Structure 1
Amino acid sequence: MSLTISKTKKHIVTLRDLSPEEMVEIIDRGIEYINGEVELGGQLKGKVIGIYFTKTSTRTRTSFSTAALRLGAQIVTYGPNDLQLNTGESINDTSEVLSRMLDGLVVRTAGDPNVMKALANQDRMSLVNAMSADEHPTQAIADLTTIKHQFGELSGLNIIYLGEGNNTASALALAIAKVPNMTISFFTPPNYNIAPMLLQYAKEEGVTRNTIIQEFHDLKKLPQQADIVYTTRWKTTGTVKPDSNWREVFEPFAVTKEVMNTYSNAIFMHDLPAHRGDEVEGAVIDGDRSIVFNQAENKAHSAKAVLEWCVY
């Protein structure tokens, strides 16, 4: 397939802004990259992509950096102390300047989502949200790319998510809401839920496609069947737990061998980094039903599809 070419710069700030058709287009293109069906090098030839990360990153930063290079672009990297934002320049002035020099900017803030919106408030440079405090859209796109590659389709699949209602969980809810006939059940510790307004939006979107998005705090409500068990680390980048006994609250939501034995045909997914002995037992993440490293590798393929869709 070939991606739709547009003269207007496109952004991925939140998955709310992607139509179901656009998301499927990006996912399917990512699968073509996974399968080695695309000749690399010409897609972004002559383009310059900025990589601006104010928070730590292994997979996402490397994925987008290598994706841009493999597609023929050059990259300019910025760390948390490299821009004049640190000396008081406004985010609007920074956006205006960068948009006159770059074709695209991949940004991780893990902070105020308004920073992303300000950087995207121009039409000369594509903006990709590589994680903010409220959403991790490119993680969800990569996850659905991995799932579709694994199963051959998305429709009809049932996912159980165990852990905090963080930015990865929020993005999964928004992404799955655009897919017909899926089910995702989030099991989150009390007071560590997905943002209620975001969850309600995702639920309403899902209903229109016969997709079920639900959240529980009671593990007694775990469903009898699942195709995928998904978790994330408990200590999310840039966040601090408000209560000192949070670990006791989280412990029942760990993915153990017992949990996986309940779902004997399910695969295990984790967005990484992982803390073995916390959110997941080592025997699970290192077991034969874990696809976490394929999932991580596929972030690079998905990043190619995202950049090509945004910047091409």
Structure 2
Amino acid sequence: MTAPTGAGRGAEPPVGRRSRHLVSISDLSDEDLYSVVARGARFAVGECDAPLAGRVVGAYFLKTSTRTRTAFTAAALRLGAGVIQYGPQDLQTNTGETSADTGRVLSGMLDVLVARTAGDPAELRAWAAQDRMSVVNAMSAEEHPTQALTDLTTLLRQFGRIERLRLLYVGEANNTATALALAITRFPGVELELRTPPGYALPAQVLDTATRQARACGASIVERHHMSDLPGDLDAIYTTRWQTTGTSKPDPHWRRVFAPFRVEQDLWRRSPNAVFLHDLPAHRGEEVTAEVLDGPASIAFQQAENKLYSAMAVLDWCQAPAGGPAR
């Protein structure tokens, strides 16, 4: 009996299509980075032609997720794909199957696997050791690449450009800050200043990479560990919650160290036109006051909505025709 054309996943991907992985922002070329961000902005204004019709997306989340899980599930459905959800106890990795074997099995059935491990990205890389199923990092301990793409999409929609924007990031240099630093320093003329608590700085390798990228395109990145002498005339001020999902802090008195880095209305004295960004969830009164989060400068909830459009762009890029960027 001859199988119908296109049935099953036993064969190689169709000619003209290749699976691409997003484990780190560094997996994107400059062209791909610019293209994915621009595509997200276009999805936000209604462009959608169901480019993933007939595809199947798996969503595997070991840690809690409101925005990212919902965004990628809704994105897959809006693009015409089917979705399979996996929880923390659903895969045989819990009974000893290796990540590499799991990846080989899933790649014969899925087109894309979106995974949040909040742990070592080595597991994601093991799943990505094949070219039939795309693997998307929906947050690991080291980096949150899809959040950075959401942030850039938000800035593009807000300002009509990313080039030459001036951004202040305040708080722990966590996986969100890492991805942001690796992404935004590839846009010409951007100025990124991070104010991070002592002992909670960007990893040295990340800062080195972001600095090299910035120099190559006329951008800049600076990190300081105090809240004095802040820059003015900022376009955006960004913070994240102090307790990153899936992590804990060894110092029992860490809140004392973080307290001076709370985002308050005073930060807008020298930058009255700056918008406020937050990747959410937020804890009012800790990393940001309610006055700021719920105030007129805040676009944090628009930023959350943009995660849907950015997720659509990521899935589209993962399954785009070989040799080309996201459409």
TM-score by length of 1: 0.96
User: Given that residues 260 and 284 in structure 1 are in contact (C-alpha distance below 8 angstroms), is that contact kept between their aligned partners in structure 2?
Assistant: no
Are 2:42 and 1:32 aligned? yes
Structure 1: 5+ residue stretches without partners: none
**Identity across the alignment (%):** 52
Other structure's SS at 1:63 match: helix
**Structure 1 runs of 4+ with >4 Å offset:** none
Q: Which position in structure 2 is the counterpart of 1:284?
A: 292
* Aligned counterpart in structure 1 of residue 210 of structure 2, from 186, 202, 209: 202
1:225 Cα shift? 2.4
Are 2:29 and 1:45 aligned? no
* Aligned counterpart in structure 1 of residue 175 of structure 2, from 167, 189, 192: 167
User: Given that residues 106 and 129 in structure 1 are in contact (C-alpha distance below 8 angstroms), is that contact kept between their aligned partners in structure 2?
Assistant: yes
Q: Which amino acid aligns with 1:197?
A: Q
Q: Which amino acid aligns with 2:35?
A: E
C-alpha distance in structure 2 between counterparts of 1:221 and 1:184, whole Å: 15
Q: Which position in structure 2 is the counterpart of 1:155?
A: 163
Are 2:139 and 1:122 aligned? no
Other structure's SS at 1:51 match: strand
1:259 Cα shift? 1.4
C-alpha distance in structure 1 between counterparts of 2:124 and 2:43, whole Å: 27
C-alpha distance in structure 2 between counterparts of 1:80 and 1:252, whole Å: 37
Structure 2: 5+ residue stretches without partners: 1-14, 321-327
Q: Which position in structure 1 is the counterpart of 2:249?
A: 241
Give CA deviations for 1:25-81 in whole Å, capped at 9, x if unaligned.
Answer: 111111111111x134x2111000000000000000000000000111000000111
Q: Which amino acid aligns with 1:146?
A: T
Q: Which has the larger radius of gyration?
A: 2
* Aligned counterpart in structure 1 of residue 63 of structure 2, from 55, 69, 79: 55
C-alpha distance in structure 1 between counterparts of 2:209 and 2:291, whole Å: 36
Give CA deviations for 1:202-240 in whole Å, capped at 9, x if unaligned.
Answer: 111111001101111022242122110000000100111
Q: Which position in structure 2 is the counterpart of 1:84?
A: 92
Other structure's SS at 1:262 match: coil
Other structure's SS at 1:220 match: coil
C-alpha distance in structure 1 between counterparts of 2:45 and 2:287, whole Å: 31
C-alpha distance in structure 1 between counterparts of 2:48 and 2:32, whole Å: 22
When the two chains are superposed, the root-mean-square deviation of aligned CA atoms in Å is 1.1
Q: Which amino acid aligns with 2:266?
A: E
Other structure's SS at 2:228 match: helix
In structure 2, relative to structure 1, the CA distance for the partners of 1:6 and 1:139 (3 Å cut) is farther
In structure 2, relative to structure 1, the CA distance for the partners of 1:247 and 1:46 (3 Å cut) is same
1:6 Cα shift? 5.3
Other structure's SS at 2:194 match: strand
Give CA deviations for 1:146-187 in whole Å, capped at 9, x if unaligned.
Answer: 101100111111000000000000000000121111011010
Q: Which position in structure 1 is the counterpart of 2:17?
A: 7
Q: How many residues align?
A: 306
Are 2:27 and 1:17 aligned? yes
In structure 2, relative to structure 1, the CA distance for the partners of 1:170 and 1:6 (3 Å cut) is farther
Q: Which position in structure 1 is the counterpart of 2:81?
A: 73
